Amino acid sequence: MINILVVIGVLGLSTQAFIGLSFFISCIWEKEKRATAVALLQFIGMVVVLAVFIAIALAGTFHTPIGKAVLIIGYAGVIAAAVLLLKRSRPNPRALEGTKGLIIGKVGRHDERKIVFARNRSLRPGSEQFEIFYKVHPEYREYDEKRRAMGGPLGHIGTVDNPNADINNAMIFASLNIPVYLGDPLKICPERHPALKEKLGSKKIQITPMEASKRIKGYAKRLGASLVGIAELNPLWVYSKRGEIFRENWEDWGRQINIDHKYVIMFAEEMDFDLVGTAPHTPTSIESMYNYAKGAFISSQLASFIANLGYSASANHLRHYDGLMVPMAVDAGLGELSRMGYLLTKELGPRVRLSAVTTDLTLIPDKPVDIGAKYFCEVCKKCAVCCPSNSIPDGDPEEINGSMRWKLNDETCFEYWGKVGTDCNRCMMVCPWSHARTFPHRLIVFLITRNKLAGKIFAYMDDLFYGRQPKPKKGPDWASYK
């Protein structure tokens, strides 16, 4: 019996050392100097423990009364630790309800005109809309005037990397061409195109909800989506009034937004690990704009596919949003809301950009998920600590517009964008969930998505290995900012 326990012990410690070695290799691949050094020490410690265990076993110590007791006590401790870390914690019932689980009061729909991006991109000083808006909302005027004096992100793009940002800026603006082109109303709602109307008339291809859902998810992933989910569209997350104007259609400004579509198809595009790692420098904005372009392409193609079936569909991307992407994605089961305000996904953490298609085609909704984000974010707080504009709260969730959640200060966040000339992404970069999905990180994600204690432990371990405030990385040579 003792020999069997010894063999099991050797195999267990060898497995532990293998995981330690794989983590060391992963840190080298991630180009993380601090993590590599700590991982090396960890691996050496694991090898030493394995060697000592084997030496003690070969000396026959485990066959003595004291040795047997030590071995049994050691196994009892290991089993207890395994149960604590591997046992699935009780699910978070609020998370499994999606955004409905966060609502504790009356929720008012968001007016797109008040969104900081709409105020920056659409309102023109001296215009009729400009005067109307600030007469109704004077609380924004002083802040917006200061921001306009700075030039905003597009006015100072690349400031943090000047004088070496021109090449990267050229790539950033190149990707913008696609969302601008696909922002045409007939491409956003392709069923309105005269040629398609003439071709299809009122004809609808009959397809079951299950078949339609399968086809749509498969096509979206083939087009480049990393994650796809479906939800019934909650009207609360649809903007109340139009605020973003891109094609001089000023008659739409302030118009009530009403969507007849019952479903929303949400998809996430992965943000590249190496480029996000440079945040807040220009390479991370190259990746952001690339994914906005990718989202515009995917949503437009998917809307066209549904229109060709004879149903109504509307693409939601950088040049046309009918509503809030993150809560819709939560309801579609892509992830949970995080402390930083981004969607936190099991597969990619917050390293995603979101786009969507709303439709009247009958689909099968996915269920919201519980990946332990609430409990992890309560302990971690790294995004709040590292936010250069102190825009992320470090306290507990609060009631905001009827929902219990953390609220990013979008005004100070956007102001910082204007200072550095990029979309920052610092919070995305430092989040422990953003690590590359190498084997050890997949194992960690597996543990923290099922166990609250594991989430707390690995939140602290991330600080130990990567530091409480990780430094920006160099990034690839083709996107160099130095």
Q: Dump the DSSP string for 119-141.
A: HHHT--TTSHHHHHHHHH-GGGH
User: Quick check: helix, strand or coil at residue 333?
Assistant: coil
The predicted pLDDT at position 62 comes to: 83
For the chain, which residues make up each domain, given as ranges?
2-86, 96-479
Nearest one of 467, 469, 482 to 38, comparing CA atoms: 467
Nearest one of 296, 349, 343 to 324, comparing CA atoms: 343
Could you give the residue ranges of the DSSP H alpha helices within 59-156?
65-86, 116-121, 128-136, 141-150, 152-155
The model scores a pTM over 0.85: yes
Beta strands (DSSP E) in 271-402 are 313-316, 336-337, 343-344, 352-359, 398-400
Q: Could you give the dihedral angle defined by the CA atoms of residues 441, 443, 447 and 448, in that order, rounded to the nearest 10 degrees? A: 10
What residues does 356 pair with on adjacent strands? 266, 316
- Cα–Cα distance measured from residue 347 to residue 373, given in angstroms and rounded to the nearest whole number: 13
Cα angle 154-343-232, degrees, rounded to a multiple of 5: 110
User: Tokens for 268?
Assistant: 């996430």
Contact yes or no for 356/324 (Cβ under 8 A) = no
The predicted pLDDT at position 345 comes to: 98
- Cα–Cα distance measured from residue 26 to residue 283, given in angstroms and rounded to the nearest whole number: 22
The predicted pLDDT at position 338 comes to: 97
- Cα–Cα distance measured from residue 339 to residue 120, given in angstroms and rounded to the nearest whole number: 25
What residues does 326 pair with on adjacent strands? none
Burial class for 283, CB neighbours closer than 10 Å (0-12, 13-18, 19+): buried
The predicted pLDDT at position 153 comes to: 58
- Cα–Cα distance measured from residue 206 to residue 186, given in angstroms and rounded to the nearest whole number: 24
* Cis upstream peptide for 476 (omega within 30°): no
> Which residues have a Cβ under 8 Å from the Cβ of 361 and sit 6 or more positions away?
207, 212, 263, 306, 309, 311, 312, 313
pLDDT along the chain (482 residues), means of 10: 85 94 96 96 96 92 86 87 88 96 96 93 90 94 82 62 85 94 93 77 89 98 98 98 93 94 98 96 95 98 96 96 98 98 97 98 98 95 97 96 95 89 95 96 95 93 96 93 86
- Cα–Cα distance measured from residue 97 to residue 13, given in angstroms and rounded to the nearest whole number: 41
